[in-house]
């Protein structure tokens, strides 16, 4: 049940993310990749912070703060600057298709870090 729910939720997330590429194309002629990413994740964080506080969610413990911050910088900053830069050179369809190499890379990274076994599927 959790597996199906997880996949369904991830599909919804990926759909919203795919449409973000369309939105990015409206701005990429006017703003630079860093500024576009700042709108997306600076704006996103501003929206999530009050929701998270009101929801009383469990925050990362102090010992996880450095790792959480580094992961945030690596993903939300570095990756999306590259993503927005790419959309200045290529079409939305091609850019997001290239992004589809993610499953293979994740599988290989997970196997390398022994987080998931490699299977025939």
- CB of 38 vs other proteins, minimal distance in Å: 4
- CB of 36 vs other proteins, minimal distance in Å: 7
Q: Tell me how many degrees the CA angle 50-26-19 measures, rounded to the nearest 5.
A: 60
Which position has the token pair 């597996």? 3
Show the site string, 72-101: x = touches other proteins by CB under 8 A, - = not.
Answer: xxxxxxxxxxxx-xxxxxxxxxxxxxxxxx
Q: Is 103 in the site for other proteins (CB under 8 A)?
A: yes
Stretch 7-46 residues interacting with other proteins (CB under 8 A): 7, 9-27, 30-32, 34-46
Stretch 46-75 residues interacting with other proteins (CB under 8 A): 46-49, 51-52, 55, 57-61, 64-65, 67-75
Helix, strand, or coil (residue 58): coil
Contact 24, 36 (CB under 8 A): yes
The token pair at 15 is 């759909």
DSSP 83: H
DSSP H/E element including 10:
helix 2-27
Q: Under rule CB under 8 A, how many of the chain's residues touch other proteins?
A: 102
- CB of 70 vs other proteins, minimal distance in Å: 8
């Amino acid at each position: 049940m959790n597996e199906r729910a997880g996949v369904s939720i991830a599909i919804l997330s990926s759909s919203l993310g795919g449409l973000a590429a369309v939105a990015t194309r409206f701005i990429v002629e006017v703003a630079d990749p860093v500024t576009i990413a700042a709108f997306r994740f600076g704006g996103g964080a501003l929206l999530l912070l009050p929701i998270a506080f009101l929801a009383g969610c469990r925050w990362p413990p102090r010992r996880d703060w450095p790792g959480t911050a580094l992961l945030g910088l690596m993903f939300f900053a570095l990756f999306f600057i590259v993503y927005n830069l790419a959309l200045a050179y290529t079409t939305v369809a091609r850019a997001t298709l290239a992004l589809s190499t993610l499953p293979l890379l994740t599988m290989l990274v997970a196997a390398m870090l022994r987080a998931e076994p490699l299977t025939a599927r």
